[in-house]
Structure 1
Amino acid sequence: MQRVSKCFKMARDKYYSNEMGCTFSPYNSGQYSIFLYYLANTIFRAGGNYKLATKLYYLNKIMHSVDWYYEIELPEYFGVEHPIGSVLGRAEYSDGFYLFQGCTVGGDKGTEPKYPKLGRNVILYANSTVLGHAIIGNNVVVSTGTTIINDRIPDCSFVFGHLPNLIIKKRNPDEIEKHISDFWIL
């Protein structure tokens, strides 16, 4: 619960945190999916009961239709909105990561597997995908349905489209921060 509380305290969403502090409800699927991930991951980190960690991972998968294996290291605070259908694979995640339904993050299956690296405050809107050796900078918004594979996205950007026609729009840091502050207490 410490990890959940720390995560939720950073959220601007009224369902996660309010003037009274952190709120937790097992009836909120976003909150409960984060709780189950953190619980399974905490057990794994402690070198504990892998059977229990696997059961919690599977419970999260069947209850919320998310595939967030307990061995991946999600950040200290991240958020979800309607997480159904999201797959979070091996990658380097940073604080402020936020995703919506149908998002996928993962590596490639080459002879030398490569995994994405996501900077601070990356928002993945619905059905967006980040694969391979993609490097996403800090304060980046990935638009709905965007596919990024092995690309480098600079800080303070909005990204749209698909390979090979990605559209990257650099933005003023203040403009991006305003957008990000809708999600996180900065």
Structure 2
Amino acid sequence: MLLCDFDDKFILDLLFRQLQIFKLTKSEEELIELLFDDTKRRVEYCFINTNNKYYNKDGEAFFNPFHSGQWCIFLYYLSNTIFKSNNENKIVCDKIYYLNRMLNSCDLFYEVILPEIFHLDHPLGTVIGRGIFSDYFSFSQGCTVGNNKGIFPKFGKRVKMLSNSKVIGDSIIGDNVIISANSYIKDINIPNNSIVFGSSPNLVIKNIKSEDLIKYWT
């Protein structure tokens, strides 16, 4: 169950008031209401698998619409859920995506397929492009996932991008990888269980023990 201090009516009213800047239509409101429960289920699954004290309460997933990171994730899942239901509804998806950019300074386009479990922490200035992502992907402020000559990177499970890090082009990032602050990876593969420093082509890649990885995920 997704716990929240506010009922669905309050959350939808808040959302519709925010979206009125884009002149939300009645049919668009009805579509959002139709897919609201599906979006909440995705949010619940994501949050219950997140090791963050603000996302869980008494062993249940907890949603606070006034926590900007949680609202950012909710808006992404809502726009993506609507898009997947019928990609002819792009205008309302555009409005929700645009709202997310305005409120959170984070570019999470609804056609980008983020995993069912991901986390963000102060994501201002981050742009997430059309990479291939796996569960427990995590990013912070100023991060970029982008293409080089039309090729986007691929990410294994439990990849954590620290502030101002970038992954570009034909790169395969393994499982359990920490991309350190200000690192720049371009067209290079990173092995499992690694921490990465520096800039391509002069990266420093160090093995990190699985027991030492735990502190990065709490």
Given that residues 186 and 201 in structure 2 are in contact (C-alpha distance below 8 angstroms), is that contact kept between their aligned partners in structure 1?
no
Q: 1:181 to 1:163 in 2, by over 3 A?
A: closer
> Are residues 1:30 and 2:30 paired?
no
Normalised by the length of structure 1, the TM-score is 0.93
The alpha-carbon deviation at position 38 of structure 1 amounts to 0.3
Partner in structure 2 of residue 18 of structure 1: 57
Uncovered stretches (5+) of structure 1, i.e. residues with no partner: none
- Pairs within 5 Å for 1:29-178: 29-47=68-86, 49-108=89-148, 110=149, 113-176=150-213, 178=214
The alpha-carbon deviation at position 41 of structure 1 amounts to 0.2
What does the per-residue CA deviation read over 1:156-181, in whole Å, with 9 as the maximum and x for residues that have no partner? 000001122110001222322x2344
Given that residues 139 and 180 in structure 1 are in contact (C-alpha distance below 8 angstroms), is that contact kept between their aligned partners in structure 2?
no
SS in 1 for 2:199: coil
Which structure has the greater CA radius of gyration?
A: 2
Among all aligned residue pairs of Structure 1 and Structure 2, give the percentage whose two residues are the same amino acid. Answer: 43
**Equivalent residue letter for 1:54:** D
Q: With CA pairs under 8 Å and 6+ residues apart, which has the higher RCO, 1 or 2?
A: 1
The alpha-carbon deviation at position 11 of structure 1 amounts to 1.1
**Equivalent residue letter for 2:130:** R
When the two chains are superposed, the root-mean-square deviation of aligned CA atoms in Å is 1.1
Choose between structure 1 and 2: higher helix proportion: 2
SS in 2 for 1:61: helix
Normalised by the length of structure 2, the TM-score is 0.79
SS in 1 for 2:202: coil
Q: CA separation in 2, counterparts of 1:82 and 1:174?
A: 26
**Equivalent residue letter for 2:215:** H
Aligned length: 178
Given that residues 75 and 93 in structure 1 are in contact (C-alpha distance below 8 angstroms), is that contact kept between their aligned partners in structure 2?
yes
Q: CA separation in 2, counterparts of 1:18 and 1:141?
A: 27
SS in 1 for 2:196: strand
Q: Equivalent of 2:215, from 176, 179, 182?
A: 179
**Equivalent residue letter for 1:95:** D
Q: Which runs of 4+ in 1 moved over 6 A?
A: none
